[in-house]
Amino acid sequence: MELTPATVRAERDRLRENDRIVPLINDTRDLLGDLFETEVAAVDREQYRTEVDTVFADGDQAVNIAALAGLLRELDVTDDYPGFVVDELLGRELAATIAGGQPLGLLAEATFHVADVHVHRETGPAGVDDLEAALAAGFQTRLPGWPWTASPSPFAVER
């Protein structure tokens, strides 16, 4: 794999145009909303695309996202179980990187597992499911819509 500004830009464009991600984000939000007995706002295509642009505007973050996405897109392992471990690792890392640091990174990693059990593709490398689950988990975590993120934290210490 070679990463250049052009390949990172191409990855950004590929992620922006992936029509499967917004429905996965909203399905994940619905599942989590039910589990936590809260209403979570849905995400639309434009919000998702804008947020993809935002994460790719940070070059250091963009190159890591492009690398992880590229690895997952191509990852397939004979007999799958050894691949299950590495694609889970890469998927969690991608979700956390998209979410943008702690504490959202940890939430995105946990959310990856929720999304992952609901994403299945019949064709293509095994890592593609994990790529889509990671995108859904990472972007749903960083996008607004959760009631607890609507106001400043009560734990902030004033200066």
Ramachandran assignment for 151, one of left (phi > 0), alpha (psi -120 to 50 degrees), beta (any other): beta
Q: 54-90, pLDDT tens digit by residue?
A: 999 999 999 999 999 999 998 877 776 665 778 889 9
Q: Is residue 90 part of a domain?
A: yes
Query: Mean pLDDT in the chain?
Result: 91
Q: Is residue 98 part of a domain?
A: yes
Q: Is residue 153 part of a domain?
A: no
45 contacts 100 by C-beta, under 8 angstroms: no
Q: Is residue 81 part of a domain?
A: yes
Q: Is residue 157 part of a domain?
A: no
Can you read off the two tokens belonging to residue 78? Answer: 């004979």
Query: Residue 94 — pLDDT band, cuts 50, 70, 90?
Result: very high
Q: Is residue 91 part of a domain?
A: yes
Domain that holds residue 79: 5-146
- What dihedral angle (degrees, nearest 10) is formed by the CA atoms of 37, 38, 42, 47? -130
Over 80: is that where the pLDDT of 121 sits?
Answer: no
Q: Is residue 158 part of a domain?
A: no
Query: Residue 108 — pLDDT band, cuts 50, 70, 90?
Result: very high
Q: Is the C-alpha dihedral spanning 16, 132, 104, 145 positive or negative?
A: positive
Cα separations (Å) of 24 from 21, 27, 57, 88, 149?
5, 5, 23, 17, 21
Instruction: Provide the number of structural domains found in the chain.
Output: 1
Query: Residue 154 — pLDDT band, cuts 50, 70, 90?
Result: confident
Over 90: is that where the pLDDT of 124 sits?
Answer: no
More confident of the two residues 39 and 119? 39
More confident of the two residues 23 and 147? 23
Q: Is residue 48 part of a domain?
A: yes
Look up the pTM and report it.
0.92
Can you read off the two tokens belonging to residue 35? Answer: 């589990």
Of 125, 4, 123, whose CA–CA distance to 71 is shortest? 125
119 contacts 133 by C-beta, under 8 angstroms: yes
Q: What percent of the chain has pLDDT over 70?
A: 94
